[in-house]
Amino acid sequence: MNTLFAYAGLFLMAISIALIATPLVKKLAILVGAVDQPDPRKVHTKIMPRMGGLAVYIAFMVTLAFELKFNIININSVLLNTTQFYGFLLGGTIIIIIGLIDDRYQISAKYKFLGQIIAAGVVMYAGIKVQFITLPFEGTFEFGWFSIPFTLLWIIGVTNALNLIDGLDGLAAGVASIALATVTIIGFAMGNTVVAFMALLLLGSTLGFLRYNFFPAKIFMGDTGALFLGYNLAIFSILGFKHVTLVSFIIPILILGVPIADTLFAILRRYLSKQPISIADKNHLHHCLLKKGWSHRTTVLIIYGISIFFSLTAIIFSQAEVWVAFTVLGVLFVITAIGAESINILNTRRQPIIHFIEDLVKYADTKQSLDKQNLKG
């Protein structure tokens, strides 16, 4: 019970520091000119301070340093080795620096990408890599040298996936909070105290910031926050699931279902329209929901609901038998595909799955009518 109170106390400490730090960061952002100007692709219509992710970083680091100093929950006894731990922190700090520079000066994508590669390189050099996974029935799959490009792609992909959905007040911070809460729950359930603890601290830091970021937002998290949260979710998933079964390896993909699916749909959409993959558009999930007539706040809440659905699926997935897990995965895939077609996220008139289901319904109705006629005859 004392341990539970200790976790709760540190969680509340992270929230409190973020609540205090965010207004100060807002003033700093305005002072240094780190502001977001409205443009046709964006939803907001007035100048907004960016750089809010710095408050999340401060709250997380201060609370973590407090625990390491006073060892309230004895996390030192189960902490990952020193090299990995400091590699993780250094990589996160590099991401924060890149985000701060971009929020102020709007650097090009190639420089942001270079910074992310450096951060990922630091993490991998420290020994945090996806090394192997245990297959569902027997044996293991060793990544070998492929662990380096695989880990690099995973870190950079997840880091940027969260950034892509950061288009409405409170959206990215809320989706990240749901994902972090899920990582915390599954981490504790699997006995991975380190990942669960750090995810819990980052959750508190993000919730404190969300108080100022939810609609109507007083500050944006900017690339500073979106990239930092994405980076941490990528690292937590590697630390939590790198040596487990293939089924468990799918868990982080489910937890991050909304940003990953939105990214994949964006890539496919741009490929189908023969546009460069890096080009920005207004056909992301939140844009499509807004086009359907939903309000700003309602759109955010709908996406929160989708994220919770993915997260609950991940929790069920982590506890289920292999055949149940993959059945759930198949059903989730169909639901996602139908939802994507219904809001036209691919920006195409083709709706093969919906039309297939409609044809099945028509066939069933026709067959039922014929059967009734045959019975009467």
Please give the pLDDT value at position 138. 60
Cβ atoms 90, 250 nearer than 8 A: no
Binding positions: 163, 223
Q: Report CA-CA distances (Å) from 205 to 55, 125, 185, 338.
A: 8, 27, 17, 35
Residue with tokens 């401060």: 58
Higher pLDDT, 370 or 166: 166
How much is the pTM?
0.85
List 245's β-bridge partners, or say none.
134
For residue 209, CA distances in Å to 104, 150, 257, 286, 341 come to 19, 32, 22, 21, 34
Provide the residue range defining the domain that includes 78.
Answer: 2-376
**Mean local confidence (pLDDT), 103-116:** 91
Annotated binding site for Mg(2+): 163, 223
Q: Which residues are 133's β-sheet partners?
A: 141
Full 3-state SS string of 240-281? HHCCCEHHHHCHHHHHCHHHHHHHHHHHHHHHHCCCCCCCCC
Instruction: Provide mean pLDDT across the span 160-178.
Output: 86
Q: Tens digit of pLDDT for each residue in 9-39?
A: 999 999 999 999 999 999 999 999 998 876 6
In this prediction, residue 355 has a pLDDT band, given cuts at 50, 70 and 90, of low
List, in order, residues 6 or more apart from 361 with CB less than 8 Å away: none
Indicate the range of 170-174, 181-185, 263-267 predicted with least confidence. Answer: 263-267
* H or E segment and range at residue 133: strand 132-134
HSE of 271, CA atoms in CB hemisphere, 13 A: 6
What's the CA gap between 191 and 201, in Å, rounded?
A: 17
Lowest mean pLDDT among 43-47, 124-128, 220-224, 338-342: 43-47
Question: How many domains does the structure of the chain reveal?
Answer: 1
Q: How far apart are CA 200 and CA 188, in angstroms?
A: 10
